[in-house]
């Protein structure tokens, strides 16, 4: 699949992979700052942003999309930064193509599966996706109307504003989702999937896990699962940040990444 991407700067290649409902557009400010030292590639994963839509969405495909992208760009090895779903893509990629990874940085996601029926993440995403999928755009004339509809089920303004970045308007002033909400709804179980519990150790390059101090995506008990697969991984916390740490604490997020890469 030919992924849409943005490129900034020169130097060692660094690829940033967004999370669920995200796109390369969310990472432009971070990418531009990192481009002072690196050639930064911001990709849109399939079914997101400006990349093609598909009826399938799982990490076997997402990791192959990344491999194909690197091959087309003649990138032999790269620093890979992945947030949330993008972090899972990065981990699956590192498990299958470790020779293509120079440094791995995973933002606020662990290798575990989040598919448990009582998982807070699964319940939250199920609600968000249901609301997005069932939203009827007929007769809507403004983004504020869309926000008002979303607010009935999604009270968190920050989450709604993030979701609204996926709204597009046609030349006929008709609104729709830019991401493939139908496939995302159908494939949510695959998106919540984790690495195989019997995954062998992944070593050979530095690994950093960043977790939001206010997020429940990486819990204290998840440290064992991380270290089982990535035995030499560093795990650091970004205080006063939730799951979207790069938006809530961008300066500290950047500092953590740069210090780890350039150390």
Span of 63-67, 107-111, 115-119, 214-218 with lowest mean pLDDT = 115-119
Q: Do 100 and 20 sit in the same domain of this protein?
A: yes
Are residues 41 and 138 part of one domain? no
Structure tokens, 181: 């909400």
Domain end point (choices 130, 164, 188): 188
The pTM assigned to this predicted structure is: 0.96
What confidence tier does 60 reach under pLDDT thresholds 50, 70, 90?
A: very high
Write out the two tokens for 250: 């961008």
Assess whether pLDDT exceeds 60 at residue 251: yes
**Cα separation, 189 vs 116, whole angstroms:** 10
Separation of alpha carbons 53 and 182, rounded Å: 10
pLDDT of residue 122: 82
For residues 174 and 211, state if they share a domain. no
Q: Where are the alpha helices (DSSP H) in the chain?
A: 28-34, 59-72, 85-96, 120-134, 143-151, 157-164, 181-186, 188-191, 222-229, 245-248, 250-262
User: Are 73 and 11 part of one and the same domain?
Assistant: yes
d(Cα 188, Cα 109) in Å, to the nearest integer? 16
Which of 159, 188, 217 marks a domain boundary? Answer: 188
Which H or E run contains 170?
none
Strand partners, 8: 40
Q: Are 124 and 108 within one domain?
A: no
What pLDDT is attached to residue 119? 64
- Asked if residue 54 and residue 88 are part of one domain, the reply reads yes
Q: Residue 263 pLDDT more than 80?
A: no
Same structural domain for residues 236 and 168? no
**Residue 216's CATH number:** 3.40.50.1820
Residues labelled as active-site residues: 84, 243
**Of 188, 219, 236, at which residue does a domain stop?**
188
The pLDDT assigned to 199 comes to: 92
**How is residue 4 written in tokens?**
């849409």
- The model's pLDDT over 98-113, given as tens digits with 9 standing for 90+, comes to 999 999 999 999 999 9
Same domain, 130 and 30: no
Asked if the model's pLDDT at residue 117 lies above 70, the reply is: no
- Percentage of the chain lying above the pLDDT 70 cut: 99
Q: Would you state the pLDDT for residue 32?
A: 97
Q: How confident is the model at residue 120 (pLDDT cuts 50, 70, 90)?
A: confident
Average pLDDT (169-180) is 92
Confidence of residue 123 (pLDDT cuts 50, 70, 90): confident
Half-sphere exposure of 251 (CA within 13 A, CB side): 1
- The verdict on 134 and 157 lying in the same domain is yes
The mean-pLDDT minimum among 6-15, 41-50, 83-92, 165-174 falls in 165-174
- The number of domains in the chain is 2
- The CA distance from 131 to 163, in Å, is 11
Using the predicted structure, report yes or no on whether residue 207 has a pLDDT greater than 80: yes
Looking at the fold, whether 55 and 175 belong to one and the same domain comes out as no
Average pLDDT, the chain: 94
Q: Which residue has the tokens 């740490």?
A: 245
Mean pLDDT of 128-132: 96
Structure tokens at 221: 């008990």
What pLDDT is recorded for position 173?
86
- Residue pair 235/211 in contact by the 8 Å Cβ criterion: yes
pLDDT at 15 over 60: yes
Q: Do 103 and 38 contact (CB within 8 A), yes or no?
A: no
User: Which residue range is the domain that position 255 belongs to?
Assistant: 5-112+197-262
Question: What contacts 262, CB < 8 A, 6 or more positions away?
Answer: 37
Query: Does residue 70 surpass a pLDDT of 80?
Result: yes
Radius of gyration of the chain (CA): 18
pLDDT at 136: 94
Q: Is the pLDDT of residue 130 over 60?
A: yes
pLDDT, position 171: 85
Coil, helix or strand for 239?
coil
- Asked whether the beta carbons of 53 and 45 are under 8 A apart, the reply is no
Q: Based on the fold, state whether residues 105 and 222 are members of the same structural domain.
A: yes
Give residue-wise pLDDT tens across range 134-158: 999 999 999 999 999 999 999 999 8
Please indicate, yes or no, whether residues 180 and 214 belong to a single structural domain of this protein.
no
């Amino acid at each position: 699949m030919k992924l849409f991407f943005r490129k900034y700067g020169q130097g060692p290649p660094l690829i940033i992979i967004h999370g669920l409902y995200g796109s390369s557009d969310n990472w432009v400010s971070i990418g531009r700052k990192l481009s002072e030292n690196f050639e930064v590639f911001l990709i849109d994963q399939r079914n997101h942003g400006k990349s093609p839509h598909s009826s399938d969405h799982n990490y076997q495909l997402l990791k192959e999309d990344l491999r194909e992208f690197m091959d087309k760009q003649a990138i032999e090895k790269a620093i890979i930064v992945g947030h949330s779903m993008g972090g899972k893509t990065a981990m699956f990629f590192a498990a299958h193509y470790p020779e293509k990874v120079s440094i791995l940085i995973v933002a606020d996601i662990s290798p575990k599966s989040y598919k448990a029926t009582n998982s807070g993440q699964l319940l939250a995403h199920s609600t968000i996706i249901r609301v997005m999928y069932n939203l009827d755009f007929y007769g809507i004339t403004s983004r504020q109307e869309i926000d008002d509809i979303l607010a009935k089920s999604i009270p968190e303004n920050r989450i709604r504003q993030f979701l609204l970045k996926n709204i597009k308007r046609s030349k006929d002033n008709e609104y729709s989702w830019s991401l493939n909400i139908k496939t995302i709804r159908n494939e949510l179980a695959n998106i919540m999937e984790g690495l195989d519990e019997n995954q062998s150790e992944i070593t050979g390059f530095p690994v950093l896990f960043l977790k939001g101090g206010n997020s429940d995506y990486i819990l204290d008990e998840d440290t064992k699962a991380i270290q089982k697969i990535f035995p030499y991984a560093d795990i650091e916390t970004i205080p006063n940040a939730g799951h979207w740490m790069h938006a809530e604490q961008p300066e500290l997020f950047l500092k953590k990444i740069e210090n780890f890469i350039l150390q």
